[in-house]
């Protein structure tokens, strides 16, 4: 069978790679073409385009790069038609993927959507479009099944794929940790806003090493350009870095959930342009920005947003993460509850089976 997979960022590349591996296990003749990243390519997909070429963050950035985005749409449509997939697999990335799904449905191309867009947070009206153009919606968050049910749409909840990637710390790494992990995001825009504040803490905690988790596709020179002080960058060592870290400063996104599932105390950071933040503030309907808090439905981890994302606030929160034992114990208890809410492992394998079965269904 032929599968065309589209993702638009680092987390989509991660989940897409695990999905592709499981599709290839279950379908030995799978021919997979993708918009993704290094991980998806390593898993066996032929890359049509790398996500870093169409990865824009925020409302203002989308407007600025509108011509490039429209060019990507035209290229994608032509490439899909040329490839003639049995199924089009969309991974999150709603601004692009929902439009592609509408286009594909008109051409009788089967559409599977793996990892629902966060329409429960804003633009919930998009659910009506999704009902019309998506053949199978595969969700990974426990409350999403109930959300879609309110609109009389049945979805497949498979659990969260990050549960398959949890790395238990070794005994030697569980004690005497002197590392603070910095996760400034996978987009250049995120790094430029988050990293200067994160690294401004370096001289304030001289007993700790601050290490940046490098994102594939981001040159180390960019990290050094936006670091307030020289910083070590480690690539392809994300889980090992977390296993040896006492705490983490994490840009809002999938990385907050990954950090929590690996039992590392964290504070969530987010800063955007003034215009993007103003628009988002008036559109987003949920009380939290991090997946950890959204799933637990309470503020289990602190969120420093926009003006609160400053050196003084970050210093105060990091101090508590490192030295307040009561806070850490409460956070670890919340993490255990989080894991229970997310269910069992095997999400990628379940999703692969659903997608393969879809290729065998009549249009």
> Are 211 and 84 in a shared domain?
no
**Which has the higher per-residue pLDDT, 122 or 93?**
93
The model's confidence at residue 59, banded by pLDDT at 50, 70 and 90, is: very low
Model confidence at 345, pLDDT cuts 50, 70, 90, reads: confident
Is the Cβ–Cβ distance between 113 and 136 less than 8 Å? yes
Q: Residue 177's pLDDT is what?
A: 64
> Which range, of 67-76, 161-170, 323-332, averages the lowest pLDDT?
161-170
**313, 354: one domain:** no
Asked whether residue 63 falls in the same domain as residue 127, the answer is: yes
Whole-angstrom distance, CA of residue 236 vs CA of residue 359: 34
Give Cβ neighbours of residue 92 (< 8 Å, ≥ 6 apart): 7, 8, 9, 11, 12, 115, 116, 117
The token pair at 99 is 């439009």
CA distance 343 to 163: 8
Whole-angstrom Cα distance, residue 335 to residue 338?
5
For the residues 81-96, what does the mean pLDDT come to? 95
- Size of the chain, expressed as the number of residues it contains: 363
Lowest-pLDDT range of 49-53, 87-91, 320-324: 49-53
- The answer, yes or no, to whether residue 329 has pLDDT greater than 60, is yes
332 and 198 within one domain:
yes
CA distance linking residue 297 with residue 287, whole number of Å: 9
| Residues 175 and 323 reside in one and the same domain | yes
Quickly state the pLDDT bin for 11 (edges 50, 70, 90): confident
Q: Is-contact 344 15, C-beta < 8 A?
A: no
Q: Does residue 276 have a pLDDT over 80?
A: no
pLDDT the model gives residue 355: 98
Are residue 230 and residue 153 in the same domain, yes or no? no
pLDDT at 175 over 80: no
- For 165, counting Cβ atoms within 10 Å of its Cβ (0-12 exposed, 13-18 middle, 19+ buried), the class is middle
Looking at the fold, whether 155 and 178 belong to one and the same domain comes out as no
Considering the domain architecture, whether residues 148 and 113 belong to the same structural domain is answered as yes
Examine the pLDDT at 277 and tell me if it is beyond 60. Answer: no
Give the CATH number, domain containing residue 24: 3.40.50.2000
Tokens 């879609």, residue? 148
Q: Are 177 and 209 in contact (CB under 8 A)?
A: no
Cα–Cα dist 73/36, whole Å:
15
Which among 289, 284, 292 has a CA at the least distance from the CA of 333?
292
Q: If pLDDT is split at 50, 70 and 90, which confidence band does 343 have?
A: confident
- Nearest in space to 306 (alpha carbons), one of 171, 213, 219, 193: 193
Sign of CA dihedral 28, 29, 32, 37: positive
Q: What is the mean pLDDT of residues 124-144?
A: 94
List Cβ neighbours of 4 (8 Å cut-off, separation of 6 or more): 32, 33, 34, 80, 83, 85, 87, 88, 89
Q: According to the model, what pLDDT value does residue 287 have? A: 83
List pLDDT tens digits, range 182-200.
Answer: 999 988 889 999 999 999 9
pLDDT cut 70: percent of the chain above it? 89
Same domain for 226 and 351, yes or no, is: no
pLDDT band per the 50, 70, 90 thresholds, residue 173: very low
**pLDDT > 60? residue 279:** no
pLDDT at 211: 97
Q: Beta 232-235 vs 303-305: how paired, if at all?
A: unpaired
> Residue 1, SS3?
coil
Please check whether residues 96 and 53 belong to one and the same domain. Answer: yes
Q: Are residues 135 and 244 in the same domain?
A: no
Q: Are residues 333 and 310 in the same domain?
A: yes
> Smallest Cα–Cα separation from 234: which of 244, 315, 196?
244
Report how far apart, in Å, the C-alpha atoms of 199 and of each of 229, 266, 324 are.
6, 15, 22
Band of residue 216 on the pLDDT scale cut at 50, 70, 90: confident
CB-CB contact of 18 with 4 (8 Å): no
Domain count of the fold of the chain: 2
Q: What is the mean pLDDT of residues 31-44?
A: 96
- Tokens 């998009």: give the residue: 126
61 pLDDT more than 70: no
Answer for the pair 72, 80: CB distance below 8 angstroms, yes or no: no
Domain that holds residue 181: 167-342
pLDDT at position 172: 41
Given a cut of 60, whether residue 65 has pLDDT beyond it is no
- Say if residues 5 and 35 touch (Cβ distance below 8 Å): yes
189 CB-near residues (< 8 Å, 6+ apart): 56, 57, 58, 61
């Amino acid at each position: 069978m032929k599968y065309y997979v589209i993702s638009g960022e680092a987390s989509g590349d991660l989940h897409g790679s695990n999905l592709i591996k499981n599709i290839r296990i279950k379908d030995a003749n799978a021919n997979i073409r993708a918009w993704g990243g290094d991980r998806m390519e390593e898993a066996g997909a032929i890359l049509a385009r790398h996500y870093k070429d169409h990865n824009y963050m925020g409302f203002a950035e989308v407007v600025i790069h509108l011509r490039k985005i429209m060019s990507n749409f035209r290229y994608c449509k032509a490439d899909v038609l040329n490839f003639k997939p049995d199924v089009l697999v969309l991974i999150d990335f709603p601004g692009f993927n929902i439009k592609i799904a509408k286009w594909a449905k008109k051409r009788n191309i089967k559409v599977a959507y793996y990892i629902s867009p966060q329409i429960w947070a804003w633009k919930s009206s998009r659910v009506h479009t999704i009902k019309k153009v998506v053949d199978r919606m595969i969700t990974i968050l426990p409350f999403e099944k109930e959300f879609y049910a309110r609109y009389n749409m049945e979805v497949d909840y498979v659990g969260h794929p990050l549960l398959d990637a949890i790395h238990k710390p070794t005994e030697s790494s569980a004690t005497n940790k002197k590392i603070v992990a910095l996760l400034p995001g996978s987009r250049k825009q995120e790094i430029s806003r988050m990293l200067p504040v994160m690294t401004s803490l370096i001289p304030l905690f001289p007993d700790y090493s601050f290490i940046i988790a490098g994102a594939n596709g981001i040159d180390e020179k960019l990290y050094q350009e936006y670091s307030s002080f020289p910083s070590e960058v480690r690539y392809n060592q994300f889980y090992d870095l977390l296993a040896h870290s006492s705490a983490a400063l994490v840009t809002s996104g999938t990385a907050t959930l990954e950090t929590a599932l690996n039992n590392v105390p964290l504070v969530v950071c987010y800063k955007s342009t003034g215009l993007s933040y103003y628009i988002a503030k008036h559109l987003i309907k949920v009380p939290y920005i991090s997946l950890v808090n959204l799933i637990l439905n309470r503020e289990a981890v602190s969120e420093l947003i926009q003006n609160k994302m400053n050196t003084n606030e970050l210093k105060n929160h990091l101090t508590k993460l490192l030295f307040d034992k009561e806070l850490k114990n409460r956070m670890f208890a919340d993490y255990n509850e989080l894991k229970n809410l997310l269910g069992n492992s095997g999400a990628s394998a379940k999703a692969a089976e659903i997608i393969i079965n879809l290729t065998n269904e009549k249009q």
